[in-house]
Amino acid sequence: MSTFGRTGPWANKPGFDFIAQAASGLMHMTGSPDEPPGVVWSAIADNNAAVHGFAGLGYALFHREKTGQGQFLDLAMVDCMFHHHEIALQAWHLSDGEFVPERMGRHHQLVFPVGLFQGPQKHLALLALDFQWENVCRAMDRIDLLTDPRYADISDRAKRQNELIPLIEDWMATFDTDEDLLEHLEEYRVPASPVLSPIDAIDHPHFAAREMVRWVEDPIHGSVPIPGFPWKFSTNDQLPDLVAPLLGEHNADILMTKLGYSIEQVQELSDAGILFHGAT
């Protein structure tokens, strides 16, 4: 796994997650249209490439089982992130260049309602496809919008979203809390969600039920929360020990049991400052 892969003109360029975001077009598509490109500050390229690697490993093992042959997997972070442009290339091509993929900000430029809306307290995410527009209108008690020719389909609504956004947000403001609003939208099966922060997840009942916040005992810092495993296997609910060893913690064990060093030789290396062990 590398930033740019083993082939191509950029194969030998150094890089990290941040660089992969830039080269793949992800930064170009992140943020508001009237601002410079944005950054996803969650190591998305690192993690996404790792998941792609996990999938590739599974395929390689399956291929070996079927054919007896191994595979060499050349995986680039840039390729993995570029793979996220699900409609940008074909939309540009099929529109003869009329549609140019750009940053959209809070609302999708081609379909509506798909975006972030100001709720009574915080921003809420709402996405309603064409067949769900009726649900939105009924939730707002605005059945008249269903027969308004200006909002006939999802693309018409996108073109006139500057009219619809304040209309929807004014209706949302009539609720006392975001929770009340979300419960009302759920009654009409309108897909919506609060915009949570990572810290919000720690005490959230859904994340607790999914075991997505795990507490591990760190030898230095004590009990520490970390994200849980997203895989929920039906026949194996045992999670592995996630406590990482201290730097150099197993030096003596490896040197003596695997390489045949004596305790005196290990001590000499330690005294000479060649080996390190302990907290960092």
**CA nearest 129: which of 190, 186, 187, 188?**
190
List the beta bridge partners of residue 89: none
Q: Kindly state the DSSP code that residue 201 receives in the 8-state scheme.
A: G
Sequence-separated (6 or more) residues with CB below 8 Å from residue 50? 1
**Which 3 state secondary structure label does DSSP give 127?**
strand
Contact 109, 168 (CB under 8 A): no
Instruction: Report the distance separating Cα 257 and Cα 262, nearest Å.
Output: 9
Instruction: Report the distance separating Cα 251 and Cα 268, nearest Å.
Output: 13
- Tell me the two tokens of residue 145: 């919008």
- Clarify whether 74 is annotated catalytic: no
Identity of the amino acid at 249: E
Contact 126, 113 (CB under 8 A): yes
Choosing from 46, 79, 156, 180, the catalytic residue is: 46
Catalytic residues: 46
